[in-house]
Structures are given as structure tokens and as C-alpha cells.
Amino acid sequence: MTSEICPQCHAVSAPGQSFCAVCGTEVSSGHNERVTLPPPATAALPPSSPPVFPPPVFGAPVVEAPLPTTRRAAPRKWLPLGAAALAILGVGLVIWKLAGSDDKSTGPAARVASVTTMDAMVATTDQSSVVETVVAETTLVETTLVEAAVSDPSTTVVPTTVPVTEPPVTAPARPPWSAPAIPDPPIFTGPGLAYAISDPLASGMPSDQPTPYMVFAQDVFDKMAADDWVGVQPTFFFQRPDGQVVPYTFDLQNQWPAADRLSLLLIDAAPDTTGLSGYDLTVAVVANFADSTSILCGHLYSDPNNYREVIQRGQFPLIADGLPPTMPEALLNDPAQVASLKASCN
């Protein structure tokens, strides 16, 4: 007997061997068919239940589920920021506790303790967020300490006094006294003129202080020039030399005969000294008649607020009589005439 060569794996078999020892193919020439035998088992397997396969799904591709892996997920970018935020919150709580303690320490020792606590907490965070966390926490420490010092009731805040370098505010200077304009053509009839001859007055009082009382008295004298004696009577009184004050009656009209224009020039004024609330006015009266002008001087009491009355105190003596028709504006524009009025009326 000769050795046979396996037609399947071309292994040389022993003489007289009908099957290949390697692959189990029949190598004997006496057989026309090849029979494949299973390889010999190395160990007996325990009996098991037949596997259960899911029913096939027709018309859709079969997608195999990915096998679970134990690979570690990539670190998320917000984790360092979250750790930094938690560190900032923790440092803020620690500093708030330090600020509210009994020792109320806000000096260098408290700052060192805060920074040490901050460093311990920053060490537990990701190394990549250390720089940003330190900057944010340093700002928080400074802000918290300032707020704690301001809100602490035991802290005394010393106000800072800033010296005033600006000059004190003073009232503007009063404009210089000016005489009224002289009308052209001359006016010798109609309402008169109520005007002060200087500012301040001879007593030093500003001329605008008694001006309302002067204007009220001028209104009464305008009624006299218009022969409105009925309108004059309720508001005009006469004080006799003995001090008795009586209503102005028609039998006293000879003191002020009918004139075309009566103008009051205020020379001086002073608060009344007899207990009344008005002013005692020193006035010059320029009386314009049809063909002449007279000037008189005396004292009037005037009060337009409480009693609404004008009192003539005593007689008004004549300073000048029978002058050519003269306007009061012309007198006020003549310094010599103004000086004569001041000297004559006292």
C-alpha cells in the first residue's frame, strides 16, 4: 500500500488510511465521493437551550445596536466655570461670616484669612480655571469688605468738610437814581406824578420800600385834582395840630383848592411811630394850576393794606407860589431844585 495525498489539503496520509488526518477528507482510491468529517472535539460542552433569534423584518435594513463602551466621556467646558462659581460663592459666605463676627475684623488679618481660604478652595478646582477664579474672587473680597464696613452700625463715618473757595453771594448793586424823562409837550393837567427824589432816601431806606404807600396817596390826590371830592372823603383824613384826626370835609377844601394836576415827590419815609402800621411820608406837592405852579411840603400818613387811608398831618406850608407853569419832571432833573426841596422839607 502506498501513501495517499489528500486532494483537499494536500496532506500526506499514512498507508492504508482512508481519510485525511488533517481535514478528514477520504483519500482512498476505492471511493468516488468525498466525505467531510467534523474536527474532533476537545471538550464536551454542557447542554444548553437553543438560541432564540428575533423574527426577521422584511423591507427594512437591520441596524445593529452599538456595543456599550467603557470609554470616559469628554470633559464638559462648563465644569471649570461651575467650579469657579461655587468657589466664589463659598468665599463670599466665609467673608460674610468673618465680617459679622464679634471681633468685627476688617483689617489685614481678615484679608489674609480670606485669601488663605480662597487658595484652599481654588486648589480643588481644575487647573485651567485657577487664573480666572483668583481674579474674580479678589474683586469680590474687596467689594464685600467695603460694604460690611459701611453697613456696620458700630463704624463711625467722619464727614469731610470741604472748604468753600467761592466768594459769598451778595445782592447786586442798586442802579443809580435817575430822574423821570421830561415830556414834550409839557403836561400840566391830568393825573400827577408819584416819584422819589433819591435812592436811597435821606434816611437810608431804599426808595422801593415805601413806594406802594406813595402810589396809594398819589391816587387820592389825583381825585382831588379831578374834583372827585366824594371819592376823596372815605379815604382822606385830616389831623389837627392838637393831634385829633377828623374826616376830610368840604369846609376843609380851602387847604387844597381845585388844581389841574397834583404831583407827590417823596423826599423821605419812615415807619409810623404812633402805633399805626403804615409809613410817615415826607413829600413835596407840586400843584399845577391853569397859569401857575405852587410847591408845598409836609407829612402824609399812608396805609393801603390795613386801613386804606391817607392822613394829612398838619398844614402844608408853601415853599414857592406863583411860579410859571413848571412840570415836576423838570424839577427832578435839576440838581439844584432837588437840593432845595431836601433842605426845605424836614
Map out the domains of the chain as residue ranges.
1-39, 79-151, 194-344
* Predicted local confidence at residue 199, as pLDDT: 93
Report whether pLDDT(60) > 50.
Answer: no
Q: Where are the alpha helices (DSSP H) in the chain?
A: 78-99, 108-122, 130-151, 211-225, 229-232, 328-332, 335-344
Tell me which of 188-192, 246-250, 263-267 is least confident: 246-250
The CATH number assigned to the domain with range 194-344 reads: 3.10.450
Burial of 334 (0-12, 13-18, 19+ CB in 10 A): middle
Q: Say which residues have a Cβ less than 8 Å from residue 114's Cβ, sequence separation at least 6.
A: 91, 94, 95, 98, 141
Tell me which of 134-148, 257-271, 295-309 is least confident: 134-148
Q: pTM for this structure?
A: 0.52
Mean model confidence pLDDT for the chain: 75
